[in-house]
Structure 1
């Protein structure tokens, strides 16, 4: 049996042969780290056992009835029991048993106590640790017990928890195998776990050590409260220590197996300080060799440290690869949080945004390219904005804090804590005289136009729209002229270089004027205790609101036609979408949907990413929303609700004027409030226009690149047209110059990385260059209540509907929409929703703005709302104070 039982330091102990644990231990042994001696029982031995006992048929039959999406515990347990029963009834092939006996005898004079550990090919991976899913047997003594333990390890590949874990993480059952690590037992005086980066905060400069007396199994299985030590790696100093009870001690028995005893270890530190620091140094060396933070199991015996296992710390949010090292600490803010979307971005989508910011820097007299820009950085397939220079200047800090309070209050809270860090000492940063001069020269002409805009807001708004129309027409014309991949990459790079240069002169003066009017109105309203949010109800000229009302008009047209109404009542949304694309909807419905998509088909979920599909390509979400709209009672028609909101705003400003007149200088204040209200109503709705214009331009560029993708797929260079978005701009240019093999494999790896990141439950609002990550939203105040930022006033009670993707969602009228965040593609759901709860967002994010205009109570920045609430629960949402109260369980 060549290469089926290997020495622990074998150079061929790869993941497929030795499993994750075995491969990592083999590397540690080869690198000279203190690893107990032993051997590896490789995966071919497992597969030989399965074949010899006819187990594959049993496995296949047991798994056939499982639904991966449901992961029903009872069904998982039943499948596991069937499979493991068959494993227990099997017999080792004679040659396997003989080889194991020889390897065991070579470890030393019997009876040698060994640890027998499972090592699956799907564990201890960079993206999924799979820790603890298979069995370990300690203090195994004698060859017969070793053979039994090895077979039991193989069987543990099919525990209910291991089957469920693979299903949840998209790891196929077919083809997996399990190796077994056999090592001499270490009679641990103290043992534990070392994290070479702080797993709670993400800090890469801190190590966390858990330690207890005796064997570490009591710790990893949760039977004991250990000591915990936190080490500052750079200073070689223990910065925090907490002594645990350590009330249970596990030790090996001479004849085999383990025993536990009770003890009071709360007054004794398990590991001396000097050993703690030695262990931290060892951890630093291990992490450096692996190139990533490690979770290390260790033991201390007879004055020596031993490493028993090492695997990646998969819970850490990754850091950007290319951060400059000119500052001791950098602070980055989630770009996705501004957009209300925390999904990953495709490689080409990231390129476009990073290139656009490079173009913006060039406008400010700081020439940058996609490669040299230093504003946006990629981490976890997402983008983060470097705000360090703003934080290091008092004025910049105030401006940043004020801006974040509007768009992401949770991030503003975290930022206030971070700003006190000693590494963020005041410095000129971007506020050097030369930089300020460049900013003034750039923004000065726009700001000088603000008074004219405020004098004649309607004229300014019309001129802005005319300029946008010219820009869109020009980009569409360029898109038609670009017929080769190289020309289309040129178009993309031109958009990066000049996008902001063309958009800002058009959009900045009216948008700034609208926000300035709103700010003045807010100050006046606050001075007499009035809620300014009431003044923003039914706000006109918001392109997102107009889009939703346009879709309502399409629903109304469909509802007036019997054939169209019946089709939408009976058929699934996906079937309706397919019929539309084939031109087979009932004529009234085909026309209504076509008219809507002609105006808004370039939109879609996650539309800020050039690589995400648009409604014109797949209108399933549009069909689902239309089906929801057709169930809305006439009295709750969105256009009527919007009109009532506008009337309520007029009443609110009249009440505000009356209240101001009763104050000192009241007549002037009341007149000022009326002027600010009128200009706010004329201009504040334009806040959504910059992004909508950008998405229109993106739509033209995406369509052109998809045409090239179709040609490349037809030529066999790519698998699908949209594979082009999983390549970078430079790679597309390379492909255009020299088409060749290898691109499909590169795209497959990128798609896999994107899919893994889609499974990430939490994304930090703030990310620091030392690894610290801040996830929290607004903290709660009352026991049992969830709290966040109030962004749309009113109180509503209703049933919760948790939604992670608007595609596939048919919201029932009055349900409370609870979601991670929203972009404009989500907002059609708002017309059916009774209220809104989001995990991210602030006063001026898309969802908040639209919720106010529809009069939907909304609370945002609610930490882990989608995990703390459940679909079907009845809750009260108070959008005036930011409190969510549970009224009834599902």
Structure 2
């Protein structure tokens, strides 16, 4: 048996690099001692993560952890000024009110009936657990079923009886308050959590007077946890019905002169520098309930300057009655402002202080009574997209969504974020800046998603020009948004520094030499690049084999990002791709000239030249998957079993090696070669097809349903090759005629040869990234298996929910509750999966820019406008897909999705057309659609909302128009 040699110092290997006509060799060295020394230098220890003194109380943990003592009744009611309480006992609203009260804000007095009181009531009513069980039995997508369920549950609450202990404590707390008129509000335990807005899901009861009325209101408030709105909201957001509870807040009512809401950031634009106020006369319930047109103010928070003002009608007023309860008065239009300038200033100042307390913008309910400003509640503005952590700057900063460009809009795992940072640290090192995962300045994280800071490029004259020329090809929506910022005084143009040019010069010189070599000898350049790729793969395989411990595998992880992915995997290959697309760009301009002179020329003919390109690893993968389907089809019985079984059963049988032999072998052969791919594969922590083959199985079942020989992928590919040849001949002839010279035709053919040879290589750097990352990922999973077997973590892939520094600690010491930390990260990641939509662009003032292409002159009720990226017209049935792992297209359907990465392309072979919300001419989905001859429109604003599965549409891939039929 071979013995693994564990390295203890630097290991050097030679790696051939593509530099021009000759291959040069440079050593690629990794020091295995680097990481452990780094950990010791940073002074990281187990105690840093998990202090040995035991669990620490959180800031809001109730000081009396025990809910009851021998001989004492449970504590059901606690005053608002109670110190240290927990979310689990008082819910989100209650927790916020106690924090605001303790901080000295003007909150009306009151008390909280804790979740213990709710649980005591449902127990006495004999319905503990019954509600969630009933909820599990119905179809949550059926509104009538949800409404009927809600009525059944609330009826049980109405017939329930409150325990004597609970009722006595509520009466006593009400006595201590002075028996005033009170407001009774809900406070759910899942309420006002990050990314969750439960406003309006439960009921509020105002101006309640007397003990009996209070007890009735409390029971009604308890039951509102099971309103149809609340049940549906929890189901949509993946919150278990059995995991929620409710506290009730009882607060003294005041005679409100004016009430409303204050947002400490603009909830429409996201701008953190603006406060937004809506105000009306009387109680604020008319405003919150949508019964009144309020006054509306947008105020510049820093200066108090009113930027927008609209005086609403305020025709409906709700006031409290002396005997309890409320009345609604129709006053007619009220031209008088509800607030004075001084009151607006008071509100803005209050909002600024509350937002500072929470370190996040807040949605505040407020009221003025007897001239005094009172704060009724505050919660985070959950609709705001979070901003990256950043240093203060005296100018605007601009962040571009990397996910939009890559077609990956999901959140990244923590270790996936670290790998991206390492990749861009490697980019910095190429240009002479010594950066690490922890201090690289390019990638920032917000909403668990990566954002590229483009500020420096946009403040540089050359950088801005390059950005505005390149991004229309990647995402026209981003390009339009940036173009609109060109005259923004907050983004002043800088100057080019000679030192910056000097830093770029050596690298650019190498790139230009390789670019020239690729243009002059495309086939030779391609062969050298392919050889360098295999050399690099061999090097990494050797290093992975040498890495035998978690500590060494983490060293390998850092080394891969800092010294391999960008410097060794991308930079040598990029000039070939640039040569291919530079040639295509010239052809595009030549074609535009020819189209201007000859209206009979087919539109955007140069697009045909990119159909069925050679040397595209993604196309090769999809065609090999088609061949896998053909292998399955050769065995009639195995094919019939495969088609009849559910994809889930087939995936389970594949892992247990129970599939029919021909199917098992065919699928194994494919995954041996391409199993490192997967959905959102640029996220290091996401599962691969090897682990979750469900999407591949679904794709194979779709392929087996293709009966028309003209739709079979290999036939489509061959047809694309012929179309490209015809387009080349057509353009060459047209150019020779237009310029009256055979040389013009020869130039066209010269350019086409480079496009056909090199443009398909576009997919190779990313494919190489995924191959290399997969080797390190597999090694880390081995460590994860060892830790899971030892009980340190639950599953091997838990490692991907820890950050690099945490993993370094874990490699040295396994003490601590790592399972709890991972569970919290998984929960946060699952919550972020529900966040929609995702901005294309973020500005440092909080502005979030979402929109794609919108051209009102071209759109109408039946036409949706995008950017045409793959010529042709097709009619078909819409199939909206958010997750390719759980989608199966019927041949000819129109695939409508937010965006795509290579893991989506197996669906393309069955699709008749493509519509995407993001992307441009050169993004992945567009390139592959052209290669397969699929008409495609991209950058279509809110396509997945405006189109619905089952609709009939016509997609014009030349214009980008999607027309609704029928």
TM-score for both structures, normalised by structure 2: 0.89
Select between 756-765 and 33-42 the one with higher mean Cα deviation: 33-42
Cα distance per residue 1:19-68 (max 9 Å; x no partner): 2212211211111111112222222222222222213264255334134x
Report 1:11-50 matches (<5 A): 11-50=83-122
Residue 837 (structure 1) aligned with residue 905 (structure 2): no
* 1:641 and 2:706 are equivalent in the alignment: no
Quote the residue 1:59 is aligned against: 131
Using a 3 Å threshold, how does the CA distance of structure 1 residues 355 and 64 change in structure 2: closer, same or farther? closer
Cα distance change on mapping 1:858 and 1:64 into 2, 3 Å = closer
TM superposition shift of 1:179: 1.7
The one of 326, 332, 349 aligned to 2:393: 326
In the TM superposition, residue 580 of structure 1 has moved relative to its aligned partner by: 2.9
Structure 2 Cα separation of the partners of residues 418 and 389 of structure 1: 14
Instruction: Determine whether 1:631 maps to 2:709.
Output: no
Name the structure 2 match of 1:212: 280
**In the superposition, relative to structure 1, how do residues 39 and 694 fare at CA in structure 2: closer, same or farther (>3 Å)?**
same
Q: Distance in 1 between matches of 2:74 and 2:395?
A: 52
CA distance in 1, matches of 2:118, 2:149: 19
CA distance in 2, matches of 1:851, 1:60: 46
Deviation at 1:175, TM superposition (A): 4.8
Is 1:241 aligned to residue 309 of structure 2? yes
CA offsets per residue over residues 134-169 of structure 1, 9 Å max, x none? 111112122221221111111111111111222222
**Structure 1 Cα separation of the partners of residues 516 and 334 of structure 2:** 71
- Aligned counterparts of 1:714 and 1:653: Cα–Cα separation in 2: 60
Q: What's the CA shift for 1:780?
A: 4.0
**Cross-structure match for 1:79:** 149
Q: Distance in 1 between matches of 2:748 and 2:189?
A: 68
- Residue of structure 2 equivalent to 1:783: 860
8 Å contact kept, 1:468–1:506: no
Partner of 1:516: 582
Which of 163, 166, 185 pairs up with 1:93?
163
| Structure-2 residue corresponding to 1:461 | 526
Paired position in structure 2 for 1:414: 481
Give yes or no for the alignment of 1:801 onto 2:868: no
**Structure 1's 151 and 845: CA in aligned 2 closer, same or farther, altered over 3 A?**
same
Question: After the TM superposition, which of the residue ranges 761-770 and 451-460 deviates more from structure 2?
Answer: 451-460
Displacement of 1:446 after TM fit? 2.2
The residue matched to 1:662 in structure 2 has which SS? helix
* C-alpha distance 582-88 of structure 1, shift in aligned 2 (>3 A): closer
Match of 1:571 among 635, 645, 661: 645
The worse-fitting range, judged by mean Cα deviation, of 162-171 and 483-492 is: 162-171
Superposition CA RMSD, Å: 1.7
- C-alpha displacement at 1:663, in angstroms? 2.7
5 Å-filtered alignment, 1:121-132, equals 121-132=189-200
Given the superposition, is the C-alpha separation of residues 699 and 97 from structure 1 closer, same or farther in structure 2, using an over 3 Å criterion?
Answer: closer
Structure 2 gap segments, 5+ residues each: 1-72, 596-602
Q: State the Cα distance separating 1:602 from its structure 2 match.
A: 1.1
The answer on whether the counterparts of 2:90 and 2:112 sit within 8 Å (CA) in structure 1 is yes
How far 1:94 sits from its partner (Å)?
3.2
8 A Cα contact 2:403 2:449, kept in partner: yes
- How far apart, in 1, do the equivalents of 2:228 and 2:304 lie? 43
State yes or no: 1:342 paired with 2:443.
no
* 1:366 and 2:433 aligned: yes
Q: Name which of 427, 445, 451 aligns with 2:494.
A: 427
Distance in 1, Cα, partners of 2:293 & 2:931:
53
Q: Distance in 2 between matches of 1:57 and 1:841?
A: 47
- Structure 1 residue 836 displacement after superposition: 0.5
1:176 to 1:508, Cα distance in 2 relative to 1, 3 A:
closer
Q: Deviations over 1:115-142 (max 9, x none)?
A: 1111222212233131111111112122
Q: Could you tell which deviates more after superposition, 140-149 or 770-779? A: 140-149
Aligned counterpart for 1:813 among listed residues 850, 873, 891: 891
- 1-side partners of 2:770 and 2:164: how far apart? 67
Looking at structure 1, the residues matched to 622 and 313 of structure 2 have their Cα atoms a distance apart, in angstroms, of 59
DSSP 3-state at the match of 1:92: coil
- Once residues 60 and 607 of structure 1 are traced to their aligned partners in structure 2, the CA distance between those partners, rounded to angstroms, is 37
| Count of residues paired in the alignment | 881
Question: How has the CA–CA distance of structure 1 residues 481 and 57 changed in structure 2, closer, same or farther, with 3 Å as cutoff?
Answer: closer
Alignment partner of 1:231: what SS?
strand
Shift of 1:863: 1.7
Question: Quick check: 1:332–1:768 contact (8 Å CA) kept in 2?
Answer: yes
Q: 1:772 aligns with which of 825, 847, 861?
A: 847
Cα distance change on mapping 1:577 and 1:174 into 2, 3 Å = closer
Counterpart selection for 2:374 from 302, 306, 311: 306
| Residue 751 (structure 1) shift | 0.8
What's the offset of the Cα at 1:843?
Answer: 0.8
Tell me which residue corresponds to 2:539: 474
Match of 2:128, SS? helix
CA deviation string 1:236-265 (max 9, x = no partner): 211111222212111112222211222344
Q: C-alpha distance in 2, partners of 1:558/1:168? A: 39
Matched position secondary structure for 1:34: coil
Q: Does 1:438 align with 2:503?
A: yes
1:98 deviation in Å?
A: 3.2
* 1:7 has 2:79 as partner: yes
Matched with 1:873 is 951
Change (3 A) 1:643 1:828: same
- Does residue 152 of the first structure (1) align with residue 220 of the second (2)? yes
> Alignment partner for residue 174 of structure 2, among 85, 104, 117?
104
Deviation at 1:508, TM superposition (A): 2.2
- Provide closer, same or farther for how the CA distance between residues 49 and 616 of structure 1 changes in structure 2, counting only shifts above 3 A: closer
Distance 1:470 1:160, change over 3 A: same
| CA 1:582–1:103: 2 relative to 1, 3 Å | closer
- Hey, what does 1:551 align to over in structure 2? 625
Instruction: Provide, for residues 514-550 of structure 1, a one-character-per-residue CA deviation record: whole Å limited to 9, x for no partner.
Output: 1111111111111122512122122221111111111
CA–CA distance in structure 2, aligned partners of residues 339 and 36 of structure 1: 50
Distance change in 2, residues 1:732/1:101 (3 Å) = closer
Q: Is the 8 A contact 1:118 1:134 kept in 2?
A: yes
Whole-Å separation in 2 of the counterparts to 1:407 and 1:619: 30
User: Residues 583, 126 of structure 1: CA spacing in aligned structure 2 closer, same or farther, 3 A cutoff?
Assistant: closer
Cα separation, 2, equivalents of 1:101 and 1:745: 40
Q: Deviations over 1:555-577 (max 9, x none)?
A: 11211222331222122223223
Alignment of 1:637-716 (within 5 A): 637-664=712-739, 666-716=741-791
SS of the residue corresponding to residue 241 of structure 2 reads: coil
Distance in 2 of aligned mates of 1:95 and 1:565:
68
CA displacement 1:704-726 (0-9 Å, x = unmatched): 11111111110111100111111
Q: TM-score, normalised by structure 1?
A: 0.97
1:615 partnered with 2:689: yes
Contact 2:195/2:832, CA 8 A, preserved across alignment: no
CA contact (8 A) 2:296 2:311 kept: yes
Other-structure match for 2:345: 277
Q: Following the alignment from structure 1 to structure 2, what is the Cα–Cα distance between the partners of residues 545 and 885?
A: 29
State the partner residue of 2:3.
none
Q: Could you list the per-position Cα deviations for residues 203-261 of structure 1 after superposition, in whole angstroms to 9, with x for gaps in the alignment?
A: 11111111111110000001111111111111221111122221211111222221122
Cα distance per residue 1:382-411 (max 9 Å; x no partner)? 110000011112221111122211111111
Does the Cα contact within 8 Å between 1:524 and 1:669 map onto a contact in 2? no
Q: 5+ residue gaps in structure 1? A: none
Say whether the 8 Å CA contact 2:76–2:166 is kept in structure 1.
no
Shift of 1:834: 0.4
CA distance in 2, matches of 1:404, 1:609: 23
Residue deviations 1:398-451, cap 9 Å, x none?
Answer: 1112221111111111112233322101113xx421112221211212212323
Within the candidate set 907, 923, 931, 1:853 is matched to 931
Q: Are residues 741 and 95 of structure 1, via their aligned partners in 2, closer, same or farther at CA, if it must alter by over 3 Å?
A: closer
